[in-house]
Amino acid sequence: MKLNLISNATLYKLLPWAVTCLLISPIIALLINSFSSDPQGSFQHLFDTVLLTYSLNTLLLILGVMSLSFIFAMPVAWFVACCEFPSRTILQWALMLPLAIPPYIVAIVYTDLLDFSGPLQRLLRGVMGWQRAGDYYFPEIRTLFGAILILSLALYPYLYLLLRGAFLGQSGSLFQAARSLGASPLRAFYRVSLPLSRSAIAVGLSLIAMESLGDFATVNYFAVSTLTTAVYDTWLELGSLTTAAKISSLMLLALVILISLENYSRRKQKVYQRGGATHTQLRFVLCGWQKWGALTFSWILLVAAFILPLFTLCYYALSYFSASLTAALWQYTLNSVWLAIIVAGLALLIALTVNFYQRLCPGLFARTTIRLSSLGYAVPGTVVAIGVLIPFTELDLGVNQLLLENGFSGIGLFFSGSLFILVVAYLVRFSAIAVGSIDSSLAQVSPSLDLASRSLGQNAFQTIRRVNFPLIKKGMLTAIILVFIEAMKELPTALLLRPFNFETLATYVYQFVSDEMIEYAALPALLIVLMGLIPFIIVNRLLEKST
């Protein structure tokens, strides 16, 4: 019996490290690459020419997307969690929907709507009698600001989701206490509710920052050159993977420092929820200008981020319906869906493993596993793909050589030529999301509950199963859905690592989008959105029933 316990514990210590090793193997591979020599001096060249501008653009992009996402997400999360106003029950789930649309699709849709020959400017010209482009001023969408706006519209739901959860979990009586002590609503919000949500804000914003850092498609479409541009230029055109890896590593380093600083600054904060009336029971009823303000802000955000792009896609899909409806479309949908299901399930297991490790054996090591397992999210997809290829092709070559030397026949690219590598690459990219949502929901569960359970004779695993799991059920479902949706949208790793004749909806969409033929891509793009929405709505129903 004792032996069994020990081996379990050892396994439990080994497992998180094994998982982390798998997830950072591509990044290690890139790091090793970045230390090899660079005979052409590509890095020096970049440093002398464009690196400063690229870095500045990257910094502005990330800060911009973080700020704007916060401005979008924070008020609406507060409205739907803590206030009562018409259409609140619709908005509370509808505001998450923009997650289902790939950002590059939103970018194309908005460019089509807002550029010179788009409907808006045509209308303006018709009404005002302007003729040429020089006759009037219209803000250019293909700029850094355009990229910030579109990425924020696409990414704010991460923060919204976590913030809403945090606000909902907060005890409303704390806020009421602040009010009764004479604080204005705004002050009570600023001094009580916001600090209590700091962990959610930090996780949400770091997910958003990572996604913006790794984005290439949207930024490239808006003709904004960032460090990711430098990564691709040096690798693909100057032929120096070394320099590309070096820039990627520097980007990661900056990110790790940023996140660690944030973590360090709230190292002494511990926020747990006890009972007491929640905001659910004490929602403020908004009326007058407050009601109209909340309604206008929430609905404009929803229309801009979801309804308008969706309608535009529907319009394109209908006008090119017969041309884009093919029998193969269903196969691609099926491929996308089951791949996303596998990835979402595995990502959840990974997240539970590293997060509970951190809870059971807290310390620097545990913290490090969490950080490391999340890094892949910030690396551009194609770079992740190459990073994953490096160790797994080596593994394949080694295995084959071993087999051949011992008189067996080879097994070809067993790992790197199959869907296996694709699943690994997806996990490298998206585990961060699952880890983040489990992290933030587990952070709300007071350890005193664990201690109570342990003192009543339950062991660690029974405690996890009987105490922690029920309390973080919501976080687990959120993790699954978010990873599922991300996997449905994922393009660059799928494009490069898929086996022959394996098409996902996203890679199929890309065939047309890469030639700016959005009309033909609209129907499969709509399918991506729909497939993301279905599980989303089901889970939301389940959650509503359970509360």
Partner 1 sequence: MFAKKLVTSAMLFTTLSLTTLTALAEEVNIYSFRQPFLINPIMEKFTEQTGVKVNILFAKKGLVERIKREASLSPADLVLTSDFSRLMQLTEQNLTQAVDSKVLTTNIPSQYRDPDLHWFALTTRVRNIYSSVERVGPVPNITYQDLASPEFKGKICTRSGKHPYNISLVASVIAHQGLADAKVWLQGLKANLARKPQGNDRAQVKAVKDGLCDYALGNSYYLGKMLADPKQVAWAEAVNINFPNQNSSGAHVNVSGMALTKYAPNKANAIKLMEFLSDDLAQQLYAQVNYEYPVNARVAPSKLVASWGDFKADKLPLAEIAKQHKAAVKLLDEVKFDL
Instruction: Enumerate binding residues for partner 1 (CB under 8 A).
Output: 40, 45-46, 49-50, 53, 116-117, 132-133, 140, 142, 222-223, 225, 229, 232-233, 235-239, 241, 342, 345-346, 349, 382, 385-386, 389-390, 393, 396-397, 400, 410-414, 416-420, 423, 492, 495-496, 498-501, 507, 511-512, 514-516, 519
Task: Pick between residue 262 and residue 519 the one whose CB is nearest to partner 1.
Answer: 519
What is the DSSP track for 331-375? HHHHHHHHHHHHHHHHHHHHHHHHHHHHHHS-SHHHHHHHHHHHG
218 and 274 in contact (C-beta within 8 Å)? Answer: no
Output the smallest distance, CB 103 to partner 1, in A.
17
- The residue among 394 and 544 lying less far from partner 1, judged by its C-beta, is 394
The tokens for 532 are 């993301």
Please, which residue, 439 or 503, has the CB nearer to partner 1? 503
Between 161 and 231, CB nearer to partner 1? 231
* Closest distance of CB 481 from partner 1, Å: 18
Spatial CA neighbour of 256 closest among 374, 364, 165: 374
CB of 520 to partner 1, least distance (A): 9
Q: Which residue has the tokens 């990974």?
A: 350
Phi-psi region of 225 (alpha: psi -120 to 50; beta: other; left: phi over 0): beta
Say how far residue 58 (Cα) sits from the centre of its chain: 18
User: What DSSP line would sit under 369-391, residue for residue?
Assistant: HHHHHHGGGGS-HHHHHHHHHHH
Q: What tokens appear for 515 in the block?
A: 């030639």
- Strand 284-285 with 83-84, pairing: parallel
Contacts of 1 (CB under 8 A, 6+ apart): none
8 Å CB contact between 406 and 463:
no
Query: What is the nearest approach in angstroms of partner 1 to the Cβ of residue 296?
Result: 33
Cβ closest to partner 1, residue 248 vs residue 382? 382
Closer residue to partner 1 in complex, CB, 393/458 = 393
How far apart are CB 527 and partner 1 at their closest, in Å?
A: 18
CB of 413 to partner 1, least distance (A): 5
- The CB-of-32 to partner 1 minimum distance in angstroms stands at 14
Q: Annotate 385-428 with DSSP letters as a single string.
A: HHHHHHHHHHHHHHHHHHHHHTTPPP--STTTTSHHHHHHHHHH
Is the CB of residue 339 less than 8 Å from the CB of residue 487?
Answer: yes
Which residue number, 160 or 316, has a Cβ lying nearer to partner 1?
Answer: 316
- By beta-carbon proximity to partner 1, the closer residue of 117 and 281 is 117
- Report which residue type is found at 149: L
The least CB distance from residue 65 to partner 1, in Å, is: 20
